[in-house]
Structure 1
Amino acid sequence: MTDFLHTLFNPLPNGIMTVLMLIIAIYWIFVLIGGIGFDDIDLDIDFSPDIDVDVEVPDIEIDVVDTDSHIAVDKVPQGLFLRCLSFINVGQVPFMIILSTFIFLLWIGSLITTHFFHVEHLGWRSAFILLPLVIVGIILTKAATTPMAKFFKEINYQGEVATDFFGCSGKMLSNIEGKKVGSAEFLVNRNPIKLNVISLNGDPVKYGDTVIITEELPKQNIYIVIKDTY
């Protein structure tokens, strides 16, 4: 038993993955006893593209039409992260099921790898063996969750419930003006949420200003805001 516990936490890759696996196990224990559910934990994960709040992004083409105060975004690159999420069926299968599957596969992979390759002498550097395991884990998670995606499609699972941010008030975390995309924090259901925002008509909005969401750019995860003057 002692040897088994030692293996679970040594070397470092096993320790990291065992701790993560324990957290996942505790979550599912609470789910089984009815304490929490899929929607009761705020994972604070922003699936929108991570855009530098102080740099004007050249990849975003925005046409401002003064006649009707409308801002159109032609193209926003999704990025590798969002493609990975789509690849492992996020949105088709509940996120915690996907995360649990990924962590479990990574944990098993770490135990098997460290059993055949003795990396104890590498110390903290042994954690780098998790990098190739992450790639393998993503591929195996895709394979494991694809049948689940078909099942959830059959039961008409529509993904996580979308939040309506229209009219929400928040604080700017950067300066925006013209075509620059910035960041603002909004309090939604007592949870702070950071969103990518752009100014209506390109009017300057400064860090710390209170803003109100007026519109969401379709499929871009960018929200149009105006400065709250009251």
Structure 2
Amino acid sequence: MTEVINLLFNPLANAIMTVLTGLSLLYWLFTMLMGDGFDFGPDADIQIEGADIQDVELNVDQELDSEISHEPSFISKAMEFIYIGKAPLMVIVTMFKFISWILTIVSSIILNLTAYGWKSVLILVPIFILSFLLLHFVAKPVVKLYKNVGYMGEEAREFIGREGKMRSSIQGDQLGSVEIIIQSDVLRLNVKSLNGEPLNYGDDVLIINEDAGKKFYIVQKDINLNNI
């Protein structure tokens, strides 16, 4: 038992990942005790504390490609690679931590990281990269599960009238993304600017309407005390 505990917390890289993974475990235990857990029933409100990025990207597929005159940002592509929006963020984050934790433990044994002291934390850089790549494959069954239970995000009518921040720069007929927060849940929507006026990354905007085809939302710049 002593050897196991020593392995979990030594070297420093192991300790960091053990603590991070343990926090996720405590979160899920607390969630289960509160009765929120993995309720996949037809009336389930699948929202994970304050970190649920819903699948509200609205499936902008090939029929919209001709309307998009800019490439998605690197961050957007990275989020899509690990299925952010297709499963609750806390589920994805927990899986990422678990994969990283396992790789760190294995690496510490194979590479004898204990001999490197605090410098062992440097191993986390390649481990995080590898975990990110592996997560794309490991998360597939989870994403399929959420899709099968109808994880579709909030209803459209709940977005109109809400404020958010642009997560891309757009003008004219370009499509971009906006980030909004509903009851501590972070969501991203595809949007187009009203009358084509330029909107920059980080601008405060107001969602004023929805496209007739329900493929994106119309936004305009929001003037408030924070940006005057």
TM-score range, shorter chain: 0.5 to 0.7
Choose from 78, 82, 96 the match for 1:88. 82
2:97 to 93, 103, 117: 103
- Indicate how the Cα distance of structure 1 residues 136 and 221 shifts in structure 2: closer, same or farther if over 3 A, else same: farther
User: In structure 2, how many angstroms separate the alpha carbons of the residues matched to 1:159 and 1:118?
Assistant: 46
- Secondary structure of the structure 2 residue equivalent to 1:160: coil
1:160 match: 153
Listed one character per residue, the Cα deviations across residues 35-61 of structure 1 (whole Å, up to 9, x for unaligned) are 44441411287999xxxxxxxxxxxxx
What's the TM-score, normalizing by structure 1? 0.61
Percent identity of equivalent pairs: 30
- Counterpart of 1:150 in structure 2 is 144
Q: Over aligned residue pairs, what C-alpha RMSD do you find? A: 4.6
Answering whether residue 43 of structure 2 is matched by residue 42 of structure 1, we say: no
- The code of the aligned residue for 2:33 comes to I
- Equivalent position to 1:225, from 202, 214, 220: 220
Distance in 1 (alpha carbons) for counterparts of 2:70 and 2:149? 29
Instruction: Return the alpha-carbon distance in structure 1 between the equivalents of residues 216 and 128 of structure 2.
Output: 27
Between 1:34-43 and 1:209-218, the stretch displaced more is 209-218
- CA displacement at 1:129 relative to structure 2: 1.0
Counterpart contact for 1:93–1:149, Cα < 8 Å: yes
Residues of 1 paired with 2:131 and 2:75: CA distance? Answer: 15
In structure 2, give the amino acid aligned to 1:30. F
The secondary structure found in structure 2 opposite 1:22 is helix
User: What per-residue deviation string (whole Å, max 9, x for no partner) do you get for residues 191-218 of structure 1?
Assistant: 798999987457799xxx9864324689
Taking the aligned partners of 1:169 and 1:119, their CA distance within structure 2 comes to 48
122-131 or 37-46: bigger deviation: 37-46
- 2:113 matched residue in structure 1: 119
- Residue 24 of structure 2 is matched in structure 1 by 24
Q: Distance in 2 between matches of 1:169 and 1:84?
A: 25
Following superposition, the deviation at residue 104 of structure 1 comes to 1.0
Deviation at 1:27, TM superposition (A): 1.6
The 3 A distance-change label for structure 1 pair 160 and 11 is farther
* Greater helix share, structure number: 2
Give the alignment of 1:134-149 within 5 angstroms.
134-149=128-143
Give 1:106 shift: 0.9
Alpha-carbon distance in structure 1 between the residues aligned to 2:179 and 2:141: 37
- 125 and 81 in structure 1: CA distance in 2 versus 1, 3 angstrom threshold: farther
Alpha-carbon spacing, 1:96–1:216, altered in 2? closer, same or farther (3 Å): same
- Check whether the contact 1:167–1:212 (CA below 8 A) recurs between aligned residues: yes
Whole-angstrom CA distance in 2 between matches of 1:47 and 1:138: 20
Cα 1:123/1:222, change in 2 over 3 Å: farther
Look up the equivalent residue of 2:219 and give its one-letter code: I
Q: Secondary structure at the match of 1:166?
A: coil
Instruction: Return the TM-score normalized by structure 2.
Output: 0.61
- Which of structures 1 and 2 has the bigger CA Rg? 1
- Tell me if the contact between 2:205 and 2:219 (Cα under 8 Å) persists in the aligned partners: no
Structure 1 regions of 5+ residues with no counterpart?
Answer: 49-72
Cα 1:186–1:151 change in 2 (3 A) is closer
